[in-house]
Amino acid sequence: PLLGIIENMSVFTCPNCQHTSALFGEGGEALARTFDTPLLGQIPLDPQLRLCADTGTPLVVAAPQAPASQALVQLAGRLTTALAGARA
């Protein structure tokens, strides 16, 4: 069963001017509607996430206040809830 949609690299926020852009387009919400399934999360593109992954340090540990960290924590909660419902 499909638990939901996760949109990775959903937006990029410029570290200099804070402008937000959907570099790869938008579509997570529309895709979720198309498949009548929840949008579980939208993870923003964050260069620090790649750096942390390369060193084996979770971004949520290295930078817990980063938007990508917060999105990942929220996603983990939604996945936990979805998995619990799938087992019932």
One pLDDT digit (tens) per residue for the chain, 88 residues: 789 999 999 999 998 999 999 998 888 999 999 999 999 999 999 999 999 999 999 999 999 999 999 999 999 999 999 999 877 6
The pLDDT of residue 88: 63
pTM assigned to the model? 0.85
**Number of neighbours of residue 85 by Cβ within 10 angstroms:** 9
42 phi, psi to nearest 5 deg:
-125, 110
Angstrom distance (rounded) from CA 45 to CA 51: 12
3-state secondary structure of 16: coil
Give bridge partners of residue 43 from the DSSP assignment.
Answer: 8
